[in-house]
Amino acid sequence: MTSEKLISPYREVDYSPKAWFGGITAEMLPVKEQKKSLDFWKLAVAPQQGEIANSANKLMRKYAQYVPGSDECSSFLISLVMECRERIRNTLISSAYRDHCDIEFVPSMCRGLEVALCRIKGLSRIILSPFEHPSVLSLARWLGNIINADVCQLHFEAKDYHLSPIDQETKMIKMIQDEVDSSCGPTALILSVVNYSTGLVNRTTEIMNHLQKVNDSTLHIILDGAHAAGNYISSVDIDKCWAYVISVHKWLLSPEPCGVIITPRPVKEDEIPYDAWSHSFPATTTNVRVFTSLASSLRAIDRVGLENWRAHSIRLRDYFIRRMHSRLSVIGSNNGTEMTSFIAVRPKSGHFWKWPIKDLSKYLEEQSVYILMLSIDQDTPWLRIAFPYTQNIEQVNELCNILDYAME
């Protein structure tokens, strides 16, 4: 592969994706299997092989040498957690908020959202933006039933995704404000930084600014960063939100799931849940592999440089868009909405899928293509296609060929 130059904000680096990513996740796969599987992240879950997993296993073997509960064992665990916390602080949080936020680790992303919601005293209503993952709705319904809080899922129709960013904001803000006005007490809004189905960036700062101007302290905004951390690298104004919750097993490539709660203020001791690693050990047994995996993935990100990881993904994304431009439309690409490393596509006017959604899904599965099919538009399926750091141009070309055949 020809080496090019990539100008990063920090330095000029050799653009050589093969050198950067060659062993990070594909190291242990047989060559035959590498060619067959086209994983464009149907589930957006990091693979369990390669350099990162090997590094995590090496750390686990080191941990196994200690006696559980010994000072050496505790010191090892504490050092891993402190490393993860500081790498997240320095990599994902802008310098303006870096020194004043609390960072806690919990077993999953949804658990992080649950903890953030439970810290709102007297919560009476939970509002979900139109861009939340179904698992967030399941969490909200479960918790709402337990604490007797109303749950409101806001909805966008397919046509709303083609509105300009400002028109989308105006529509969504009105929907949110109507729900806040009719609430009888403290209200929570869960708002995604990046839309899980389309990869489009929501202008959370503008939305929060508007809502907080017309509402008092009864509205608490929780930012859902599941698809933001490691994918959307612009600064997130965490000082304006109640909490910013991220996932580490998607774009941060950790082999094990873990949720991270970033709170823009000190968390009181009596608000720390029993299963969170906050200022000290959790009350429950620690899943050591979570931290060996996260430390390994964050080290790999630091070695390559997050800006370089993302540049590689964007290069693959843009190549796909150019290659399929005549046949596929990228949702949101024509209205000025900022895109990330994954997109949603549908056939352009005059083009159609050969089969209905069930048969199209079967065809893609037979071709070992793994992408998420969306039913947002009742007339035609949308496909969510992610371009993780581990893919290459050859795989994108193969995907294009397979999608070409699926259209008429």
Q: Residue 360 sits in a domain of what CATH number?
A: 3.90.1150.10
Where do runs of H (alpha helix) occur along 254-323? 288-304, 306-323
User: Is the model's pLDDT at 145 over the cut of 90?
Assistant: yes
Burial 254-265 (b: 16+ CB within 10 A, else e): bbbbbbbbbbbe
Residues 6+ apart with CB under 8 A from 158: 376, 377, 378, 379
User: Is the model's pLDDT at 104 over the cut of 50?
Assistant: yes
User: Do residue 144 and residue 253 come from a single domain?
Assistant: yes
User: Do residue 26 and residue 37 come from a single domain?
Assistant: yes
Return the pLDDT at 170: 96
Residue 22: pLDDT band (50, 70, 90) is low
Return the pLDDT at 33: 46
Give the residue numbers spanning the domain of 280. 61-303
Residue 9: pLDDT band (50, 70, 90) is very low
Asked which of 270, 286, 303 is the last residue of a domain, the reply is 303
Where do runs of H (alpha helix) occur along 99-198? 109-118, 134-147, 165-181
The pairing of beta strand 12-15 with beta strand 4-7? antiparallel
Residue 23: pLDDT band (50, 70, 90) is low
Any domain includes 70:
yes
Residue 20: pLDDT band (50, 70, 90) is low
Any domain includes 289:
yes
Can you give the pTM of this predicted structure?
Answer: 0.91
The most confident of 121-125, 217-221, 279-283, by mean pLDDT: 121-125
User: Do residue 316 and residue 266 come from a single domain?
Assistant: no
Return the pLDDT at 26: 53
Task: Read off the tokens for 189.
Answer: 């809004």
Return the pLDDT at 47: 80
Asked which of 303, 327, 343 is the last residue of a domain, the reply is 303
Any domain includes 53:
no
Any domain includes 274:
yes
Q: At residue 225, what is the residue type?
A: G
User: Do residue 220 and residue 352 come from a single domain?
Assistant: no
User: Do residue 92 and residue 155 come from a single domain?
Assistant: yes
Q: What average pLDDT score do residues 63-84 get?
A: 96
User: Do residue 142 and residue 287 come from a single domain?
Assistant: yes
User: Do residue 20 and residue 130 come from a single domain?
Assistant: no
CA distance 106 to 185: 28
User: Do residue 332 and residue 203 come from a single domain?
Assistant: no
User: Do residue 264 and residue 331 come from a single domain?
Assistant: no
Residues 6+ apart with CB under 8 A from 179: 125, 127, 152, 154, 187
Residue 18: pLDDT band (50, 70, 90) is low
User: Is the model's pLDDT at 216 over the cut of 80?
Assistant: no
Are 140 and 190 spatial neighbours (Cβ–Cβ below 8 Å)?
A: yes
In the sheet that holds 150-153, the strands lie side by side as: 102-106, 259-263, 243-247, 219-225, 187-192, 125-128, 150-153
Q: At residue 117, what is the residue type?
A: L
Q: Residue 176 sits in a domain of what CATH number?
A: 3.40.640.10
User: Do residue 264 and residue 275 come from a single domain?
Assistant: yes
Any domain includes 55:
no
What tens digit of pLDDT does each residue of 329-354 get? Answer: 999 988 888 999 999 999 999 999 99
Mean pLDDT is lowest, of 34-38, 85-89, 129-133, for 34-38
Residues linked to residue 191 through DSSP beta bridges, in sequence order: 223
Asked which of 269, 303, 337 is the last residue of a domain, the reply is 303
In angstroms, the first-to-last Cα distance of the chain is 33
Any domain includes 54:
no
User: Is the model's pLDDT at 357 over the cut of 80?
Assistant: yes
User: Is the model's pLDDT at 141 over the cut of 80?
Assistant: yes
Any domain includes 8:
yes
For the chain, what is the domain count?
2
User: Do residue 134 and residue 81 come from a single domain?
Assistant: yes
Any domain includes 392:
yes
CA distance 375 to 349: 18
Are 188 and 125 spatial neighbours (Cβ–Cβ below 8 Å)?
A: yes
User: Do residue 99 and residue 228 come from a single domain?
Assistant: yes
Are 154 and 130 spatial neighbours (Cβ–Cβ below 8 Å)?
A: yes
